[in-house]
Amino acid sequence: MTMPLMRPKKKNPVLRTRQLNLPPWARGRVALGITAAAAEGRFELQECEECGTVQYPPREACHKCLSASLRWREQSGEGNLLATTTLHHSNDMYFRERLPWRLGLVHLDAGPTLMVHMHGEVGDAPSRVKVGARLDRAGQAVLIGFPNEGSAHMADDKMLREMTSDPKFRKVLVTDGKTEVGQALVRALVKAGADIVWVGHAEPWKKTGGLEDITALPQVTLVPLDLTNGRSVTELAGEIGGKVDIVINNAEVHRTFGIGARRGTDVAKAEMDINYFGLLRLAQEFGPALKGRSADGETGATAWVNLLSVYALSNFPAHGTFSASKAAAHSLAQCLRAEMRPAGIRVINVFPGPIDDEWNQHVPPPKLLSGTLANAIVKALRDGVEDVYPGDVAQEWLERWRDNPKVLERELAAGGS
């Protein structure tokens, strides 16, 4: 059983700071299929379409019948633990500072035999385990053996926290606290055990419903933050940038209509100023601060979360300029992910469907509740994934987009949703 995680001690500036080291990250193109699935929380292996063989490690052809017709299929991960070992020495700098490190040999029910990292609650062999895929600090998939039935404190396992960004005992910045989504996020983070939650407020003179409730929480501190104002972002980064472990950018401007139904560009500029340029300003100021603290161990910076939209995948004409601003933010977030990865900072992009708010009141159900979205973001941090599509609509859009983006574009242009 995993012992409950204790609150980390404050960093002693006199002691040596651990150098930034990432686990081995080199992967071939074929092997990146496991990483692509792990980025969305799935464990997938290659399955031959000719003979049905499930194989590992990934190859260009089936090792049994030599067919090149291979598809990535999600696996249950159920299997038998054959043997375990514990490393007490490693030539790799990343593992050398984290020894001892436990490994196990697992024979999956699906066929392959794998070498996996072992969760601390898994007992000695022989026993039943469940293998899952997680992203490590280098952003590459690794395989972990989990117990079939874990304890309440399973997420506190030291090895597992290396792979995730659990908000427990961490300090979080939520960029916009005036919306229902922002307030739900704050409550979810406090419930998840966040140490401090800074909540951005662009208009401190303006009374906003629900803001008093969340600021009454002892973990919450209201801070001035206007993403349209570069000076505001710079000043806040100078004040708390060296303390933040997780940045959650939920600030957005959402308006309806596309091109022909509205004259001028003022609304589109307002959407871009927050949804795209706001993210850019935030990344320029807080990005270097997070990268500089990524090697601080238990108190180090760990994640960046962007609230995007499933409309970023394919433009929804009824919300056309908003969709365009989110598509621009999506592209920028991919750049941010590439720049943050060498520091081991995970960038999580969240693509919800229509949220149950005033700007989607004419969109028919199902719509995503703010609390459901907030819980999905906390779960993404705990699971260590990169891309999240919360809600039934987002999942359906994603499936249709993957099947044929051009068909989805035509369906949306014809008024489908």
Each residue's pLDDT tens digit, 332-389: 999 999 999 999 999 999 999 999 987 788 788 889 999 999 999 999 999 999 999 9
Does 9 score more than 80 pLDDT?
no
Does 11 score more than 90 pLDDT?
no
pLDDT value of position 55? 97
Does 417 score more than 70 pLDDT?
no
Q: What fold is seen in the domain 171-413?
A: Rossmann fold (3.40.50)
pLDDT band at 317 (very low <50, low <70, confident <90, very high): very high
- Cα separation, 305 vs 293, in Å, equals 17
Please write the tens of the pLDDT for every residue from 47-81: 999 999 999 999 999 999 999 999 999 999 999 99
pLDDT band at 298 (very low <50, low <70, confident <90, very high): confident
pLDDT value of position 262? 84
pLDDT value of position 349? 98
What average pLDDT does this structure show over 224-244?
96
pLDDT value of position 130? 97
What stretch(es) of the chain map to CATH 3.40.50.720?
Answer: 171-413
Sign of the torsion formed by the C-alpha atoms of 328, 330, 332 and 334: negative
One-letter-per-residue 3-state SS of the chain? CCCCCCCCCCCCCCCCCCCCCCCCCCCCCCCHHHHHHHCCCCCEEEEECCCCCEECCCCCCCCCCCCCCEEEEECCCEEEEEEEEEECCCCCHHHHCCCCEEEEEEEECCCCEEEEEECCCCCCCCEEEEEEEEECCCCCEEEEEEECCCCCCHHHCHHHHHHCCCCCCCEEEECCCCCHHHHHHHHHHHHCCCCEEEEEECCCCCCCCCHHHHHCCCCEEEEECCCCCHHHHHHHHHHHCCCCCEEEECCCCCCCCCCCCCCCCHHHHHHHHHHCHHHHHHHHHHHHHHHHCCCCHHHCCCEEEEECCHHHCCCCHHHHHHHHHHHHHHHHHHHHHHHHHHHCCEEEEECCCCECCHHHCCCCCCCECHHHHHHHHHHHHHHCCCEECCCHHHHHHHHHHHHCHHHHHHHHHCCCC
Does 94 score more than 90 pLDDT?
no
Does 403 score more than 70 pLDDT?
yes
Does 176 score more than 70 pLDDT?
yes
pLDDT value of position 17? 65
Rg (CA), the chain: 22
Q: How far is CA 100 from the centre of its chain?
A: 28
Please write the tens of the pLDDT for every residue from 104-158: 999 999 999 999 999 999 999 999 999 999 999 999 999 999 999 888 888 889 8
* Most distant CA atoms of the chain, gap in Å: 70
What average pLDDT does this structure show over 273-278?
98
pLDDT value of position 25? 83
Average pLDDT, the chain: 93
Among 214, 215, 316, 198, which residue's Cα sits nearest to residue 259? Answer: 316
User: Could you tell me if 41 and 382 are in contact, meaning their C-beta atoms sit under 8 angstroms apart?
Assistant: no
